[in-house]
Structures are given as structure tokens and as C-alpha cells.
Amino acid sequence: MADRSFLNWPFFHDRHRDYYARFDAWVGENLADIDHGDIDESCRRIVARLGEAGWLEASAVDPDDPDSAIDVRTLCLSREILARHDGLADFAFAMQGLGTGALSFFGTPQQQEWLRKTRGGEALSAFALSEPRSGSDVANMEMTATHDSGDYVLNGEKTWISNGGIADLYTVFARTGEAPGAKGISAFVVPADTPGLQVAERINVIAPHPLARLSFENCRIPESALIGESGSGFRIAMSVLDVFRSTVGAAALGFARRALDETVNRAAGRELFGAPLFDLQMVQGHIADMALDVDAAALLIYRAAWTKDMGAARVTREAAMAKLYATDKAQEVIDKAVQIHGGDGVRSGHIVESLYRNIRALRIYEGASDVQKIVIARQALATAQTGALS
């Protein structure tokens, strides 16, 4: 059993501890039998089971309660649990939240009707932000949304879109031209069956999950598809990422916890030179480093989540620190796990081999590690300048 002592930290209430226990038990009993042979179908089945059991209610606001809010600590706990059990299950859950985050925070009542389906596991969602020439540089976006006779017409491409090809709705960002750069971007909700929206390419990666390049050719959508105000798309995207970057760190934490558990069990049960592997001081040193990195990452993640839940308008600095540290350190923790497992650590199908493949993408998507360093540095500079002027 994974260490649960962190649940006694002051970031959490009894409802979080109860949620963790119930969800962890449910995941172990209800998702272990899902075959990953057909990745698309596996994601649909995972989302359906999560939705039927009510667990996807944590992924978005309740459309029947205008004052409801997403509890970011619950989101992070969910992703940590799922990642520890199954990387694809974590992916499927995460996309239900990220794909509809703009609707949760900025959507009209009509747009939020989608949330009934995504929270119920009846529809899959996706977040279409990246483009072939503008991944981390969102302000350099080229896709256009032209206002025409009461509609918007979308033209361009999106790529590296998770759930691409299986999503029922996409949150799409496009240039509407109110101003240069970031101030001329808007957000739209686009159903997958909209004429002109095509899956141009399915993309294969080392940790398989639904991923695609999308093409928009004279894709006409009504004005009611606009999320928030025209020209506010960049702010909407950053607000969504503010929340969900912390949860990426939580997924990395789940991978790292599983790696640590597997390594401790391996070291205790494997003999080398007539004694348990754990007796080697070098192995003890590796495990100490792993345990330290896991706890330090958890502190940063749940600080960011708690800060947002306490009403902070933005947690850009906290979320960037959480994602950067948790994903980078999880990579190191899992690498140590592979090393201590020896040949088994690189055997296809072994849990630590799977963790090794799963962790790498988390250091890239929703803001690569190097980009997070830039974000943190700029936040530090802004704080210093504000202090100097006050």
C-alpha cells in the first residue's frame, strides 16, 4: 500500500481523506481489468466507468449550481491515485477536466450543458491549443476564426491534441485579430461532428494514448460557440492551465509513488551476495533520495492546489513550480527504480518499464520544463519589481 501519511498534512480536510480512501479502493476494483489493446476503446470504457460511478463530477463544475467550483485538491488526489494504478486511466480522467476547463470557468449556461455529458462519462473532451509552429509560444498562433454573417469560420491546424480523433467536443483556440499576439486570440467550443473539422493524422508516441493532428477547413460555427469574450482566449487558456498544471504534477507524483513502492518491495525481496538487496548502502541511498523527492513534490503540488482552492485568482508561480519539480523529479525517481530492478526494469510489460515510458511526456505537455523555468523566473522578477516600487 502506498504511503498515505501525507493526507494528514494541513492542506486536507476529512472529506479529502475519505475521498482518497474510497476512490483508491474503487480504482483497484473497477479499472484493473480494462485491456489496453485498443487504446481508443480503452479510453472510452474508462471514461464510461468513471462517469457511471460519479467520479468525473470532480473534473468540472456542476452546471446546476452556478456557484460551484472545482476543488483542485480533489483533482490532484484523483490524478495521483489513477497514475499510481494505470497511466491510461489517469490520461482519460485528466482530459475530461482539461478539455472542459474553459467551459467550467468561462462557459455560458448553454455551453455548460456539455458538462452533464462529460461528467457523466457520456462524452469525451479535448483541449486544442498547440499548433505545428506554436506549441509553447501560444501567442504565435496562426489558426484563424473569421467573423462572417453571424458565424465564425475556422481555418488552420492543431496538433499534439490529446483525445484527438475520439473526442466529442473540442475547446479550440484561434486568432480573431482584435490585437497582435496574445490579445487577438479567442476560445470556442466545437463539436467533433462539425463540417470542416477533420482528423488529419493520428500520432503514435512511446506511452500510447489517443493523439492527433486536426485540420479545420472553412469550419463554420455559430457565435454562441465563443467562450467568454472575443480576444480573451489567451487569458482563458492560461487560467485553465493554471489549474491543470498542478494536476500534471500530481500524475507524476502518482507514477513516482508507484516506482518507490515497487523499488522498496524489490530491494526487500531480492537477494544479492547472500543478503537482501536493501542491505546495500548504495541502494539505501537511492531509496532515500526517491522518498525525499516524492515528499518534496507532494508539498509543492498540494500547496498550489490549496492556494487555488483558498480563492487565489491565479497560481501561476505555484503551479509552475509544482509541475516542474514533480515531473522532473519523478523522472529521476523512476530512473532509479529501473536501475535497481536491473534487467527486469527494461523488460517490456514490466511496471517500472511502463512508468519509464509514461513519465517522459509529462515534462513536455502543458508547458515544457524549460518553459516553466521561464515562468517562475518572470514571476520572481515581477515580485521583486513590485517590492522595489512599493
Catalytic annotation, residues: 366
Q: Are 16 and 4 in contact (CB under 8 A)?
A: no
DSSP class of residue 131 equals: B
Q: Are 243 and 70 in contact (CB under 8 A)?
A: yes
Beta strands in the chain (DSSP E): 125-128, 144-148, 151-162, 169-175, 185-191, 197-202, 211-222, 226-227, 271-272, 275-276
The answer to whether the beta carbons of residues 98 and 127 sit under 8 Å apart is yes
CB distance 113 to 63 below 8 Å = yes
In terms of Cβ atoms closer than 10 Å to its own Cβ (0-12, 13-18, 19+), residue 195 is exposed
Distance CA(320)–CA(65), nearest Å, equals 30
On the CB side of 340, CA atoms within 13 Å amount to 33
C-alpha span between 389 and 261 (Å, rounded) = 49
Rounded CA Rg of the chain: 21
Q: How far is CA 350 from the centre of its chain?
A: 24
| Residues 279, 271: Cα–Cα separation, whole Å | 9
What nine digits make up the cell of 364?
Answer: 513536455
Helix/strand/coil percentages in the chain, nearest 5: 55, 15, 25
